[in-house]
Amino acid sequence: MTVATLDTFPAGLLAAPLFDRSAEDPINFGTLGSVAEHEVTHGFDSMGRKYDASGNLRDWWTPDDAQRYEQRSKYLVDQYSSYVAAEDIKVNGKLTLSENFADGAGAKLAFRAFKDRTHSNSPKSSSFFSRMPLGIAPTLLLNT
Ligand SMILES: [Zn+2]
């Protein structure tokens, strides 16, 4: 999927496997929530910078914004460039930067949204963490 906003979010994504009305909240936040937040994140990355709030083709980043993005994104470029995609072919972290950024930010934002919902004592999420293997839930909570 390329650049999208929530007003162009395909309704077909609101079905299995990304959304299951009978599933517990952690499942839906982890699947559909991550995808939705992934798309929202694109509105603020190197692709989204090219379109203003009205959808017009206009770069709204300042030169300082662009410089800081370049500096900070080097770590993500390096991380993904160290991954092997298949056999001896490595990922080109510079080419995949926008997707890598959106994947990580999307998961993080979806988890925050899930935690906000959990604090409202949703009955559909109360037992999920108790069934996780020990260590996973605390790791998730510490990395958000
Ligand atoms: Zn994407």
**Do the Cβ atoms of 48 and 65 come closer than 8 Å?**
no
Is residue 87 annotated as a catalytic residue, yes or no? no
CA of 66 to the centre of ligand 1 (A): 19
Domain boundaries, the chain: 6-142
CA of 98 to the centre of ligand 1 (A): 7
Strand, coil or helix: 143: coil
Active-site annotation holder among 25, 37, 39, 45: 39
- For position 107, what pLDDT does the model report? 94
Determine if the peptide bond prior to 17 is cis (ω within 30°): yes
Active-site annotation holder among 20, 65, 78, 103: 103
pLDDT confidence of 94, banded at 50, 70, 90? very high
Q: Say if residue 82's pLDDT is above 70.
A: yes
Per-residue pLDDT tens digits for 99-124: 999 999 999 999 999 988 887 655 55
Pick the CATH number of 6-142 from 3.40.50.300, 3.40.390.10, 3.40.30.10, 2.160.10.10: 3.40.390.10
Of residues 142 and 58, more confidence is placed in: 58
Q: CA of 122: how far to CAs of 17, 25, 34, 44, 125, in Å?
A: 22, 8, 19, 31, 6
- For position 125, what pLDDT does the model report? 52
CA of 51 to the centre of ligand 1 (A): 16
Per-residue pLDDT tens digits for 11-53: 888 888 889 989 998 999 999 999 999 988 888 888 889 988 8
Is residue 99 annotated as a catalytic residue, yes or no? no
CA of 37 to the centre of ligand 1 (A): 10
End-to-end CA distance of the chain: 25
**Do the Cβ atoms of 100 and 80 come closer than 8 Å?**
yes
